[in-house]
Structure 1
Amino acid sequence: MKIVQISDTHLTASGGPTTDAFRLLARHLDEVVRPDLVVHSGDIQVLDPDDAADRARSRELLDLISAPLLVVPGNHDVGMPGLDAWAGISVTGERVAAHEAAFGPGHWRHDTGEATLLGINSELLGSGLQREADQWRWLEETRTDLPAGRPVLLFLHKPLWAVTDEPVDHQVDIGPVARDRLLGLLERIDLRAVGCGHLHRYRQVQRGKAIEVWAPATAFLAPGEDDLPEGHQELGYVEYTVADGEVSAEFRLVPGMPQLTTDDVPEIARAIEAMTAAV
């Protein structure tokens, strides 16, 4: 079985380079890769989760992918938890509801002949919202329903394991309380892969029997100077192979995809200006 993970597309109703890159990606997946399933690990929209036009256009663009598509939200889709939310945009029930109306449930289970895929909304973890409690309850119930020895792949937006020991100006991974609780649940299943996005770089690390995979962005590269661990700095996607109870993952390039930075995407600056003006 071939599963493709894409992430951090940062699409906008105004079009521009991120839309062009996504069209190239979708055509490549449809005509060349032909995956059995595609998972988008969040930050579908460019920046502002409250921009209904961006949300609607993003939904239209995702429909260019002909393979079955599953989505988990990112912080630019629903906001993020914690006191230091980027640009003050905290996750709310209303934002999650708007996202789910367009893209489907923020947490889900998908069974295939080879494995079970689970998707969760990482932006709820540590939020204190009723939706977080509902997701934890669903996770507990789902865990007990999984057959012993069945390979499981988990997808979420933010990294599960701690990214850095140094403080940063906003959340880059799941907080320690939620992390410990989630890892406790995952110890009881046959976890083989955890795929996330958010950091705009590719990295693969072995975590016991599971591989932790950071998916690259398709929109633009991460800043060159930051305090995060090094990773593969190219735009692209991840291709998973699931066969005979084993799971592997590889970084893939999209032929002809330009390696953009934020300086190449004027829509980013315009989105920030619009968000600032609305405050």
Structure 2
Amino acid sequence: MKIVQISDTHLTAAGGPTEEGFRILARHLNSDVRPDVVVHSGDIQVLHPDDAADRSRSRELLDLIDAPLLVVPGNHDVGMPGLDAWAGLVVTDARVAAHEAAFGPDHWRHDTDEAVLLGIDSELLGSGLQREADQWRWIEQTLAALPAGKPVLLFLHKPLWAVSDEPVGHQVDVGPVARDRLLGLLERTELRAVGCGHLHRYRRVERGAAIEVWAPATAFLSAGIDEIEGRHELGFVEYTVTDGAVSAEFRLVPGMPQLSTDDVPEIARAIEAMTAAAV
């Protein structure tokens, strides 16, 4: 079985380089890779979760992918938890509801013959919303009902394990309280992989019987957290599930340029629009 994880596409109604790169990616997946399923691990939209035009355009572009597509939200899709949320974009019921209307449930279970894929909304963890309590209930019930001996792959936007011992401003991983609770629940499963996004770089680390995988972005290389390790190139992750074993490899996309934020003027314009709206 072949699973592709893409992440941090940062698509916008204004088009531009992130859309051009995504179109190249979609063609490559459809014609050359031909995965059994594709998982998008969040930050679908360019910047602001309340931009309905960006959300609508992102939905249209994701439909270019032929394979079945599963999506979990990122902070630029629904906001993030905590008092130090980036740009004050805090996760809310309305933002999650808008995401679900466009992309489907923010948490889900997908069964195949070879494995069980689970997706959760990392942006709810620590939010205190009723949606968080509902998701925890779903996680507990879902994990308790998993078939024995079948490998489990979990996907979410933010890394489950701590990224750095040094503070970097806004939240970059799942907080310790939620992390410990989730890992405790996962101990009863055949967890073999945890795939996330958010950091715009690739890394693969052994975590007991599982692998932790940071998926690279497809949109642009991120600045400001250069001290965080990992392969800093645009691309995607290809997972293979064979006889209960799960492997993951970084893949480049032929013909897709390696962009930085300076190469995407739509980012600056989106920040200017957001700043103007907040005044």
Which range, TM-score by smaller chain? over 0.9
Give, in angstroms, the shift of residue 225 of structure 1: 5.6
The number of equivalent residue pairs is 278
What are the residue-to-residue correspondences of 1:199-214 with 2, within 5 Å?
Answer: 199-214=199-214
Q: Which residue of 2 aligns with 1:259?
A: 258
What are the residue-to-residue correspondences of 1:211-230 with 2, within 5 Å?
Answer: 211-223=211-223, 226-228=226-228, 230=229
Q: Which residue of 2 aligns with 1:155?
A: 155
Q: Which residue of 1 aligns with 2:230?
A: 231
Worse-matched range after superposition: 17-26 or 143-152: 143-152
CA–CA separation in structure 2 for the residues paired with 1:69 and 1:53: 21
What are the residue-to-residue correspondences of 1:1-279 with 2, within 5 Å?
Answer: 1-223=1-223, 226-228=226-228, 230-279=229-278
Check the 8 A contact 2:237/2:250 in 1, yes or no.
yes
CA–CA separation in structure 1 for the residues paired with 2:158 and 2:192: 18
Check the 8 A contact 2:156/2:197 in 1, yes or no.
yes
Give, in angstroms, the shift of residue 224 of structure 1: 6.7
Give, in angstroms, the shift of residue 226 of structure 1: 3.0
User: Which secondary structure does the structure 2 equivalent of 1:55 belong to?
Assistant: helix
CA–CA separation in structure 1 for the residues paired with 2:212 and 2:103: 25
CA–CA separation in structure 2 for the residues paired with 1:147 and 1:58: 34
TM-score (norm 2): 0.99
CA–CA separation in structure 1 for the residues paired with 2:169 and 2:26: 34
Give, in angstroms, the shift of residue 246 of structure 1: 0.5
User: Which secondary structure does the structure 2 equivalent of 1:177 belong to?
Assistant: helix
Give, in angstroms, the shift of residue 223 of structure 1: 1.7
User: Which secondary structure does the structure 1 equivalent of 2:267 belong to?
Assistant: helix
Q: Which runs of 5+ in 1 are unaligned?
A: none
TM-score (norm 1): 0.99
Cα deviation per residue 1:85-113 (whole Å; 9 max; x = unaligned)? Answer: 00000000000000000000000000000
Cα deviation per residue 1:134-182 (whole Å; 9 max; x = unaligned)? Answer: 0000000001101221100000000000001111210000001100100
User: Which secondary structure does the structure 1 equivalent of 2:26 belong to?
Assistant: helix
CA–CA separation in structure 2 for the residues paired with 1:12 and 1:131: 27
CA–CA separation in structure 1 for the residues paired with 2:77 and 2:205: 27
CA–CA separation in structure 1 for the residues paired with 2:175 and 2:133: 16
CA–CA separation in structure 1 for the residues paired with 2:271 and 2:43: 15
Give, in angstroms, the shift of residue 227 of structure 1: 3.2
CA–CA separation in structure 2 for the residues paired with 1:225 and 1:189: 33
CA–CA separation in structure 2 for the residues paired with 1:134 and 1:240: 30
Check the 8 A contact 2:168/2:225 in 1, yes or no.
no
Cα deviation per residue 1:218-239 (whole Å; 9 max; x = unaligned)? Answer: 00012276332x1111100000
User: Which secondary structure does the structure 2 equivalent of 1:185 belong to?
Assistant: helix
CA–CA separation in structure 2 for the residues paired with 1:225 and 1:33: 31
Q: Which runs of 5+ in 2 are unaligned?
A: none
Q: Percent identity?
A: 83
Corresponding letter in the other structure for 1:234: E
